[in-house]
Amino acid sequence: TQLLEQSPQFLSIQEGENLTVYCNSSSVFSSLQWYRQEPGEGPVLLVTVVTGGEVKKLKRLTFQFGDARKDSSLHITAAQPGDTGLYLCAGDGNNFNKFYFGSGTKLNVKP
Amino acid sequence: DAGVIQSPRHEVTEMGQEVTLRCKPISGHNSLFWYRQTMMRGLELLIYFNNNVPIDDSGMPEDRFSAKMPNASFSTLKIQPSEPRDSAVYFCASSHDRGRATEAFFGQGTRLTVV
């Protein structure tokens, strides 16, 4: 059973489109991270959100942590082929240092 | 900083053989994680260490799997005997406790194929 559910599982869009990826849970997390993984590589940390309601921006990427710290979203504006990859959310639960990863969203941005 | 270093990058072995995967965490990090990634199950936490001590090994699939961390700069994950269903990409990650948030840094992984 996945503690963190991500949706959609797959997303294929044209360059220039906007998209939103969701990460949901019934559990509360002390912090939540978003990672991007490219084929043949390990996940790379994009951002960490800590405070309920927090919004962080990383160029064209906007991350939001839900008010209750149970969910998060990642919004990409004007997607580019370089954004292609597997996006993973991970929650830092009450268990010290134990990360729970979501199932991932596989994004393909076509030129 | 060299990041988390894993070896080998690829391993092909026959069923029944022993496999040892190696990891060097980022210097100064006090937590180390072993994950397994497959298409079917995604990224699964196998075991994690804090200050070289195994804290939670509940994700280790069975007794064929074992992990050690003899010092702060080295860890191994061993599978003995290996089976075809162990084929996956195995990642090592390390982190440093920063209070409210802890962020993991991953190695490039070891792709294991058991035939």
Token output for A105: 């969203």
Substitution target from A33, A37, A69, A97 for chain B, most B beta carbons within 10 A: A97
Beta bridge mates, B99? none
pLDDT at site B100: 56
Chain B contacts to A (CB-CB under 8 A): 4, 31, 33, 35, 42-43, 45, 48, 50, 55-56, 91, 93, 95, 97, 100-109
> Of A76, A60, A104, which is closest to residue A17 (Cα–Cα)?
A76
Reply yes or no on whether the pLDDT at B106 is more than 70: yes
Name which of A58-62, B1-5, B86-90 the model is least confident about.
B1-5
- The dihedral of CA A61, A64, A7, A30: what is its sign? positive
Nearest to A97 among B4, B102, B109 (CB): B102
Distance CA B5, CA A34 (A): 21
Distance from CA of B69 to the nearest CA of A (A): 17
Q: Per-residue pLDDT tens for B14-72?
A: 999 999 999 999 999 999 999 999 988 889 999 989 999 998 898 898 899 999 999 99
Q: Give a three-class secondary structure readout of B18-39.
A: CEEEEEECCCCCCEEEEEEEEC
The CA–CA distances, whole Å, from B90 to A3, A47, A78, B2, B86 equal: 21, 23, 33, 19, 10
Q: Per-residue pLDDT tens for B7-21?
A: 999 999 999 999 999
Distance CA A32, CA A48 (A): 6
pLDDT at site A31: 87
Chain-chain contact of A42 with B107 (C-beta, under 8 angstroms): yes
Substitution target from A2, A98, A103, A105 for chain B, most B beta carbons within 10 A: A98
Residue of B nearest to A86 (CA): B42
Reply yes or no on whether the pLDDT at A91 is more than 90: no
Nearest to A97 among B31, B91, B109 (CB): B31
- The dihedral of CA A1, B84, B16, B112: what is its sign? negative
Residue A93 binned pLDDT confidence (cut-offs 50, 70, 90): low
